[in-house]
Every structure is written in C-alpha cells, then in structure tokens.
Amino acid sequence: MRTLRGASAIVGVADDVSPTGELDRHGRELEAAMIKAALDDAGLEVADVDGVCHAESSMALAEYLGIHPRFTDSTMTGGSSYEVHVEHAAAAIAAGLCDVVVGVYASTPRGDRARGRPSSRRMPPGPNPMAEWEWPYGLRMPMGPYALAATLHMHRFGTTSEQLAQIAVSTRQWAAMNPRARYRTPLSVADVLASPLQCEPLHLLDCCLVTDGAGAFVMTSADRAGDLRRPPVYVLGAGTCHDHMMISQMPDLTLTPGAVSGAQAFAMAGIKPGDVDVLMSYDSFTITALLHLEDLGFCAKGDGGPFVEDGKLGPGGSLPTNTNGGGLSYTHPGMYGMFLIVEAVRQLRGECGPRQVDQAEVAVAHGSGMVLSCMSTIVLGTAGTLS
C-alpha cells in the first residue's frame, strides 16, 4: 500500500487573531500578510513557492502573489478545507509534482460588518439545496443541524446538557492561558447552562464565536524540511470522507464521516488513539467536538458524555484538546480548520508557553466541514515519530 507517511512536512505556520475579535486588515492584504509570515517562519520566500491552496480561488491568489504554481487546489469543503489541502499537498509533494506549497485562509465577518462591507464568509459555489429544501421549514442556521444531532444523541445515549457544557468549560480553561483568545474568563457548567438557548438543546456558550481571523501554512518535502528555520512537523497520515451535504440527508445524525477519515489517517500513520498527545478537534459546537471523540475512537459510540465529564480534555487532562481555546473561546471566523493545523504544529514544536503540552510528539488536526458533512483528519508528528 502506498503511503504519505513522512514524505512531507509542515515547515511554517502563522495566524492573526485579536482578543477584540476584529482585525484591521482584510481580503488579499490579510492573506498576503499571512503567507509572508508563514514563509518567514519557515525561512523561505515567495519565489520558492510552486504550489498554492485556497478554498475560493487558488488561481486568483497566485496571480496576486505573482507566482506560476505547478500545483493548485481550490477544494472547498467548508471548515475541513484546510485539512483537505494538507492531504492533497502531501500527495502532490510525494508524487514530485511540486516542492513548496502554501495554504491560506482569511475571513473578517466582524470587521466587514463594522466597515459596512459584505461578509467575507461564503458558501461553496453553485446551487444551495439547503436553501430550497430545508431553510423554508424553519431550520435555523448554522446551529439547527447541530441541535438535531445533539437531540438524537441525548435521546439515544442519555447524553446530558451538563456533559456538553463541560466541553466548553475545558476549552475555556485552555483559552485562559492564551493571551490572544477572544474569551478568557473562567466558565462553569452552570454558566453554560444559564446562557440563552439558541436552538434547543444548544445554549449560547455551546456555540462557536464569530470573529475575524486568518492563518497560513507552508509545506515541503521531508528531504528539504530538515534544512529550514523551524523543526519540521511531518505529515504521518491523512484521510477525508463526506457522506452528505444537507443535514436531512445525513445517514445517521450521531455518526459522522470522521469514523472513516480518522481510521484511514490513523492506519496510515501507524498509530492508535492512545498514541495522540494533542487533539485539535473542530469545535463549531460542543456536540461537534463530542462526536469527533467517538468517531475517532477515543471512546465508544455513545460514551462521549461520560468521557468528557471529568475534564480530561482540559489542562492536566489525559487528552489535551483544542489547546488554543478552540472555536468556542479562541477564534472562529467562519471556517476554523486552518487554526487546528497552526496550533497542532506549534504544540509539536514546543512553542505554546503556559499551555504547552509536555513531550508532545503526535498531534491530530480533525476538520469538520459544512453541517457535519465532510471530515478530514491529519496526523502530525515530530522527527522522533519517524523512527
């Protein structure tokens, strides 16, 4: 079986967020700044880049940067797009199609509103079947589909609102150690349950933020990675799967395609859930994070509630999860997958200060796109994991 394990590495990352939730820059200016910062992090220049990933138009971005890439990817799967981009870039690098790939994301919904500009948050191009078949019947977006999943999970497995709230509490504990996080004030389970219901059973503090934010990554071959500025973070495994677009077409509201993408990525990497030191798991809502834990194999299906209620996802817990504060407390500009990658890389490079996980060698970035529709799982490791 052919594998991507260890053939490429992420060698540069950057992100830009603010505790206020707003950024001064936007659009191509912000994207270009992120790419430059990630290239500087790696010790590379724009002239070195021959591969471009962008969820809207890699062609327009390449033109703006003045480069002529040999590899281009505009895959758009919502919040998991950036894990998909890493997977595709790893395959392209392993095949010799390109040498240095950049991926970038920037969205400024809060700043756009303040400037009186149209929001930079976008749906995939083409017809939107949800607008025809679901929204007219009162499905509130974006929380409605997740509320359906949470309701069925509670009915089928006995999951409680208190257990979901603990995910938000643990995530906020990480955010309290991140000076760039949007919210750092400690939370209690009671605080989450006292916040206004948005779409039963999800409360306001079960839901992700709406902030500005941007980020970028740089990848290259394993052979070149060792000669650059930062310790390489190797791509050990990758997998992607989607099984629906509209939530009404999801085969089982309690089982995401992450059960497929995670199994593929873990098998390629040669790891088990118990080998993961840091989990960066897309947390658009608390139920999203809980479903990921089950589908990636950290606990059995239906056991997510009891699994999280002792705080094992937070600082000092056995499964450090969303160590930057996640989409619930750090930032969430609309598609969060880029920030999973950036934090996973920084944890493996030992750069996270007070929130650093001791001896982190293996990290997982697990992206969730659209309405629990497309899952993409990336397993990353330090040089020590290659032996």
| Whole-number pLDDT of residue 131 | 81
Strand partners, 278: 363
| Whole-number pLDDT of residue 129 | 82
Q: How far apart are CA 376 and CA 75, in angstroms?
A: 12
Geometric angle at alpha carbon 202, from 201 and 205, rounded to 5°:
145
Q: How far apart are CA 96 and CA 137, in angstroms?
A: 49
- Three-state SS at 49: coil
| Whole-number pLDDT of residue 124 | 62
* pLDDT-wise least confident of 123-132, 219-228, 351-360: 123-132
Q: How far apart are CA 22 and CA 240, in angstroms?
A: 32
Model confidence at 119, pLDDT cuts 50, 70, 90, reads low
Estimate to the nearest angstrom the gap between the alpha carbon of 75 and the chain centroid: 15
HSE at residue 28, side-chain half, CA atoms within 13 A, is: 10
pLDDT in tens, 240-256: 999 999 999 999 999 99
**b/e 249-282 (16+ beta carbons within 10 angstroms → b):** ebeebbbbbbbbbbbbbbebbebeeeebbbbbbb
Instruction: Give backbone dihedrals phi and psi of 101, rounded to 5 degrees, phi first.
Output: -120, 135
- Could you give all domains of the chain from N- to C-terminal order, each with its CATH number? 8-115+207-385 (3.40.47.10)
| Whole-number pLDDT of residue 322 | 98
| Whole-number pLDDT of residue 291 | 98
State both tokens at 204: 């306001």
Q: How far apart are CA 191 and CA 86, in angstroms?
A: 37
Q: What mean pLDDT, rounded, does the chain reach?
A: 95
Mean pLDDT over 93-106 rounds to 98
Residue 118 has pLDDT above 90, yes or no: no
Model confidence at 99, pLDDT cuts 50, 70, 90, reads very high
pLDDT in tens, 160-216: 999 999 999 999 999 999 999 999 999 999 999 999 999 999 999 999 999 999 999
State both tokens at 383: 């040089």
Residue 117 has pLDDT above 80, yes or no: no
Instruction: Give backbone dihedrals phi and psi of 217, rounded to 5 degrees, phi first.
Output: -135, 160
| Whole-number pLDDT of residue 123 | 58
pTM above 0.85, yes or no: yes
State both tokens at 283: 């947390």
Mean pLDDT over 308-323 rounds to 98
Residue 133 has pLDDT above 90, yes or no: no
Mean pLDDT over 51-55 rounds to 98
